[in-house]
Amino acid sequence: MHELTELIRQDMKPALGVTEPGAIAFAAAVARQHTKGEVRGVKLRLNSGMFKNAFTCGIPGSDEVGNAHAAALGAVGADPDKGLECLDGITPEQALRAKAMVEAGQVKVEMSEITSRIFIRAEIQAEEGEAAVEIRDSHTNIVRITENGRTVYEKPGWSDEAAGGETNAAPLIHRYTLEQLHTYALTVPAEEIRFIRQAFEMNLALCQAGLASPKTTYARYLLAENGGRVISDDEQKTASLLCNAAIEARVLGLPEPAMSITGSGAHGIIATMPLYAAYKVRGYSEEKLLRAAALSYLICMYIKEYSGKLSAFCGCAIAAGTGMACGLVLLRDGTTEMMTHTINNMASSITGMICDGGNQGCAMKGVVAVDAAYRSAAMAMQNVYIYSVHGINGSTPEQTMRNMGRIASPGMVETEKTIIDILSGRG
């Protein structure tokens, strides 16, 4: 198996609801396993990106939103064996118990620092002792578990010193050029990437849940705009509908998982669903669809490794949208040069879009991302693009993607702080 195939396989993961509330609930649920007796309280520390993304986010199994409710649900009913789908199966009684804990002031949430690096510490106080779980760098990467202050698990090779600094090793994806990623997508054996079908199946089911739910508004609007048809003759309108009905369903906490990439369900949706629309409307082969999706994922990963997992810019629109735009070029038999021009167009247009957490606004950002991707690809294939000399564009597509990521981290650290202040009522 090609190492890029394995990279995609490892990164593709189902996630129920927005990934951050799921990760918070997961951490609390694992900590709960290491205590005995009734839960008395929960303490939660989060990095700024985690704090922000779950701040007003819908939670599966609950009518409530936000960090505290996610932690409480994790403490009283989540199944840690299900990972990011741990809230699957929450009962109404458990939801009421979690709500009561939050209202009673038994759940404390604080932010650790302004950083794009994922950090969660969930501490459970129970009738008999307490336990804490610490997660770093990815949503389910447990690095330490303590019981009554005693470490009972520490990830091999992990240390607090290592947590404080960045690794000097280049990520695998950054060892490749755009041309090499394109070549891989065109030549990898079809059977090797057949597993990507799961993403389309899962995200389509989420889209259908959004279309069926009375809670959604964007989904119904986009359906009407598409002539009342899920799949119409209009590729772009179909793409926006399939993509953003799924995103809206996700942020509202509907009980269907998304297939995430780079730790985000919305990234996974934007990277795939517009390509599925093109496949349905234009009649591309399934193999071609899977190759386009593989390229879309890899370009998304390329940018995200520079921006960080959680930052002040909208990686869903910017990183996944750019990947998807290049996937459109592949579907249309475009060249690597056309993809380079597409990346320039995307970098020069929506790079500054902020992330203000997982909420219904993500659907609007998704609408913008689809529009930008379709225009960027179409223009590039007609030799209309922003020249490399302008703005944050680099002399190579790799440099441009690096610059896109750098705008987020370190570029938007102060922006992140301002967003947090606004959300917290201090801005």
Return the minimum-mean-pLDDT range out of 91-95, 310-314, 344-348: 310-314
Q: What is the pLDDT of residue 6?
A: 98
Confidence of residue 272 (pLDDT cuts 50, 70, 90): very high
Confidence of residue 298 (pLDDT cuts 50, 70, 90): very high
- In this prediction, residues 96-108 reach a mean pLDDT of 97
- For tokens 């403490």, the residue is 75
Q: What is the pLDDT of residue 378?
A: 98
Q: What is the pLDDT of residue 132?
A: 98
Listed in order, the ranges of the chain carrying CATH 3.30.1330 are 14-163
Q: Is the pLDDT of residue 285 over 80?
A: yes
Count of Cβ atoms closer than 10 Å to residue 266 Cβ: 31
- In this prediction, residues 364-379 reach a mean pLDDT of 98
Q: What is the pLDDT of residue 158?
A: 80
Question: CA-to-CA distance for 202 and 101, rounded, in angstroms?
Answer: 33
Question: CA-to-CA distance for 179 and 152, rounded, in angstroms?
Answer: 47
- In this prediction, residues 71-97 reach a mean pLDDT of 94
For 180, the enclosing helix (H) or strand (E) is: helix 178-187
Q: What is the pLDDT of residue 69?
A: 96
Q: Is the pLDDT of residue 367 over 90?
A: yes
Q: How far is CA 111 from CA 47, 99, 357, 421, in A?
A: 6, 21, 14, 11
Q: Where are the beta strands (DSSP E) in 24-163?
A: 36-46, 107-111, 119-128, 130-136, 142-147, 150-154
Q: Is the pLDDT of residue 161 over 60?
A: no
- In this prediction, residues 157-164 reach a mean pLDDT of 64
Instruction: Please give the share of the chain, as a percent, with pLDDT higher than 70.
Output: 97
More confident site: 164 or 33: 33
What is the three-state SS of 341-400?
HHHHHHHCCCCCCECCCCCCHHHHHHHHHHHHHHHHHHHHCCCCCCCCCCCCCCCCHHHH
Q: What is the pLDDT of residue 273?
A: 98
Instruction: Please give the share of the chain, as a percent, with pLDDT higher than 90.
Output: 88
Please write the tens of the pLDDT for every residue from 379-393: 999 999 999 999 999
Q: What is the mean pLDDT of the chain?
A: 94
Q: Is the pLDDT of residue 310 over 90?
A: no
Helices (H), 34-91: 48-53, 67-76
Q: What is the pLDDT of residue 16?
A: 87
Please write the tens of the pLDDT for every residue from 205-230: 999 999 999 999 999 999 999 999 99
Question: CA-to-CA distance for 243 and 254, rounded, in angstroms?
Answer: 15
CATH of 172-423, one of 3.30.70, 3.40.50, 1.10.4100, 1.10.3470: 1.10.4100
Please write the tens of the pLDDT for every residue from 323-334: 999 999 999 999
Q: Is the pLDDT of residue 166 over 70?
A: no
The two structure tokens encoding residue 270 = 């934007």
State which fold the 14-163 domain adopts: 60s Ribosomal Protein L30; Chain: A; (3.30.1330)
Amino acid symbol at 238:
T
Q: What is the pLDDT of residue 51?
A: 94
Q: Which residues of 366-376 are buried (b: 16+ CB within 10 A; e: fewer)?
A: bbbbbbbbbbb
- In this prediction, residues 333-351 reach a mean pLDDT of 98
- 401 and 306 Cβ atoms separated by less than 8 Å: yes
Question: CA-to-CA distance for 91 and 103, rounded, in angstroms?
Answer: 19
Listed in order, the ranges of the chain carrying CATH 1.10.4100 are 172-423
Question: CA-to-CA distance for 206 and 252, rounded, in angstroms?
Answer: 11
